[in-house]
Structure 1
Amino acid sequence: MILNKFLSMVAFIGASLICTGLAHAQPEQQIKTEIQKKLGANAKVKSVSPAPVSGLYEVLVGNDIFYTDASGKYLIQGEIIELASGKNITEQRQADLNRIKWSDLTPANAIKNVRGNGSRQLAVFSDPNCGYCKRLEKSLQQLDNVTIYTYLIPILSPDSAQKSKQIWCSADPYKAYMDWMINGITPSGKADCSTPLDKNMAFAKTYGVTGTPTLFFTDGSRFPGAVQITDIEKKFNSLK
């Protein structure tokens, strides 16, 4: 009888230790559950992981980075900067999250333009009614020895879809695109051919391309907005 009680107590203590060990080994799951409960259904907590700073945890809500404490009581919005090096750790982490595989892109769904030897490659997601896209296109004219893949994603208006179809279905899509984006010549062709617009939109949704222009380089990194040509050249140089 005493032996049975002793064995039962040992088993209970062992099970308690295992459960305690698991709790200590997986605080991230507990924090995730706690924060998700507080944020509700409107925000999806993708993951929780230890942050570079002791005592803090990185919280991914969609692709946005937040930080929290071990209790999940606080949600901190801001950037972690390493003072010794001046490195913006949050910015670098965000860049990694936004990275794609270049091979995931489908060149056949893009308007292709080769200049010079075409050795440097760039993908641009663009809406024909996007003012910043038009500004970017004027800047991109300064690039040489480059292959530019332009993926049309009509996200701004129904007219964007119409123009995108007219551009794609024209005899020379690149000329029609540049005539409109740089010279303001409205596409006049019929929008009666098969287009990759739905596929481009699906790609944009999958990879979180929510604004135009968005640029991708061969290392998978993305630059949102009308990027300065100097920054594009600097990025190309870093890929050599």
Structure 2
Amino acid sequence: MKTLKQALLMLALGIAGLTSAAAETPVEATVRKLVEPRLGEGVKVDSVVKTPYAGMYEVRIGSDILYTDEKAQYLFVGNVLDSKSGTNYTKQRTDDLNKIKFSDLPLESALKMVKGDGKRVIAVFEDPNCGYCKQFRKTLTNLDNVTVYTFMYNILAEDSKVKSKNIWCSADRNKAWDEWMLNGKAAPEAAANCSTPHEKIYALGQKLRVTGTPSVFFVDGTRAPGAMDVKVLEARMAAAAAPKPN
């Protein structure tokens, strides 16, 4: 079993391009100096913030969070829940850290499916060899008035790249994708000189820390890893599109 230090080291090495948060208070800075060397060589703490609960300090490494006390004597790994309301404060925080700017997604490099008026919009990262993605694709067929941008994110098998290229290079990409994902009918072999955006999409997925498929992104920048049923998806789209309080 991996030690906490080993796990945190691997986490730190997998996170790049992240910068420290706003200026810390003197106490928070002291906690950082105390806790960072105790996490293992190579681990970089991105921020330390005092929380409003139990006098704990949030220690952020990328989009992952753990907690410590003022003397960095103890480390707490897990979720902080409000025992009365059931609110998961850790999940709220990690969801916020994982938000993206939807308008920055390179939608021209995605498959685009429009149903009905297309007013509701989501983006999905899927691998052609992903069973859960095929299940989720069936769920999407039950939606109306939606635009779905699908990024073919080849992470599960070497031949995912081949399947994605054949689909991208098809005369009707959306039809070829659905034929494969819903009916198991493979697209014809693509010409050798047909170029695809798949390396670009792979790099994007790594940057956004997409570690599994399907991964769904909503217009408010929130995400949902894994397949969802229609009711959950409808609720998430409605929440994403709802006006935010000032």
Tell me which amino acid in the other structure corresponds to 2:106: T
Report if the CA contact (8 A) 1:165-1:191 is conserved: no
- Taking the aligned partners of 2:41 and 2:137, their CA distance within structure 1 comes to 40
Report if the CA contact (8 A) 1:49-1:57 is conserved: yes
Tell me which amino acid in the other structure corresponds to 1:69: D
Q: Which residue of 1 aligns with 2:237?
A: 236
Q: Which residue of 2 aligns with 1:9?
A: none
Give identity over the alignment, percent.
Answer: 47
User: What CA RMSD, in Å, does the superposition of the two structures yield over aligned residues?
Assistant: 1.6
Q: Which residue of 2 aligns with 1:217?
A: 218
Tell me which amino acid in the other structure corresponds to 1:224: P
- Taking the aligned partners of 1:120 and 1:169, their CA distance within structure 2 comes to 27
TM-score by length of 2: 0.83
Q: CA deviation at 1:141?
A: 0.7
* Map 1:29-108 → 2, pairs under 5 A: 29-41=29-41, 43-108=43-108
* Map 1:1-240 → 2, pairs under 5 A: 25-41=25-41, 43-190=43-190, 192=192, 193-238=194-239, 239-240=241-242
Tell me which amino acid in the other structure corresponds to 1:36: E
TM-score by length of 1: 0.85
Q: After superposition, give the CA deviation of every residue in 1:19-68 in whole Å (9 maximum; x if it has no partner).
A: xxxxx942222222322211223543222111121420111123211111
Larger Cα Rg: Structure 1 or Structure 2?
1
Q: CA deviation at 1:184?
A: 0.5
Q: Which residue of 2 aligns with 1:10?
A: none
- Taking the aligned partners of 1:143 and 1:190, their CA distance within structure 2 comes to 31
Q: CA deviation at 1:83?
A: 3.2
Q: CA deviation at 1:191?
A: 5.1
Q: Structure 2: which 5+ runs fail to align? A: 1-23
Q: Which residue of 2 aligns with 1:13?
A: none
Q: Which residue of 1 aligns with 2:12?
A: none
Deviation above 6 Å: which 4+ runs of structure 1?
none
- Taking the aligned partners of 2:191 and 2:52, their CA distance within structure 1 comes to 52
- Taking the aligned partners of 2:172 and 2:44, their CA distance within structure 1 comes to 43
